């Protein structure tokens, strides 16, 4: 079974790829308008880009399905243990903001890195000069930094919201289980055989209240 930490990292990787695809097409759409499809084909965005979008779409669909399944499982457990109204530390607003920021500081650099690599590879395949880091220049690629900033913030918000909700349900379920276990122990004590605590000392107490016997003369 894959550890939870690695599952979360893989999840962030898929989310970053989704942000990359969304920001990529949005940049061309903002700059070229209705003719952005023809520009994509002219700059090397042909079958390779179509395949990339298809793969990312499949990964995103799998991620959505896994998210729904996990959420349904946790909600079911929370209802079973009556954990919906339990207050836990992860339920505060600052915890939600912290998770959004943590997701964003990973998603943004990964999406930008993939964007730079993809654009240079596509230009090379089309026989065009390599733009290098010039793809991040707003003058060359219209509003690239702004588009990536907006897209990654939105995606990070969705991801952070899911993680916050997931962690909140998990903590509530744990608290409810602990409360249920304590209540169960309090109402179901083990039946032990009755033992008279003073039973072993009855003879001793009787002997202690008597005077020692007198010795008879020979």
Q: What is the pLDDT of residue 192?
A: 47
Q: What is the pLDDT of residue 9?
A: 86
Q: What is the pLDDT of residue 182?
A: 66
Record the pTM: 0.72
What is the mean pLDDT of each successive set of 10 residues along the chain, which is 218 residues long?
76 93 86 73 72 90 91 80 60 84 94 90 79 72 81 94 86 73 60 48 50 47
Q: What is the pLDDT of residue 25?
A: 84
Q: Where are the domains of the chain?
A: 4-186
The CA angle 21-111-150, to the nearest 5 degrees, is 80
């Amino acid at each position: 079974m894959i550890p939870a930490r690695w599952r979360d990292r893989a999840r962030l990787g898929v989310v970053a790829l989704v942000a990359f695809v969304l920001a990529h097409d949005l940049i061309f759409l903002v700059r070229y308008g209705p003719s952005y499809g023809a520009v994509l084909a002219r700059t090397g965005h042909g079958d390779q880009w179509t395949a990339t979008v298809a793969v990312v779409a499949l990964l995103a669909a799998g991620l959505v399905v896994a998210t729904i399944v996990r959420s349904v499982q946790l909600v079911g457990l929370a209802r079973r243990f009556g954990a919906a109204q339990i207050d836990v530390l992860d339920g505060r607003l600052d915890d939600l903001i912290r998770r959004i920021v943590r997701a964003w500081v990973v998603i943004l650099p990964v999406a930008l890195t993939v964007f730079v690599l993809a654009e240079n590879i596509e230009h090379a395949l089309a026989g065009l000069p390599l733009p290098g880091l010039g793809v991040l220049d707003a003058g060359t690629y219209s509003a690239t930094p702004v588009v990536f900033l907006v897209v990654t913030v939105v995606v990070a918000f969705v991801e952070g919201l899911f993680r916050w909700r997931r962690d909140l349900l998990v903590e509530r379920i744990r608290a409810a289980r602990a409360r249920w276990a304590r209540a169960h122990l309090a109402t179901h004590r083990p039946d032990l055989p009755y033992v008279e605590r003073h039973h072993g000392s009855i003879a001793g107490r009787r002997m202690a209240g008597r005077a020692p016997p007198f010795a008879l003369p020979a």
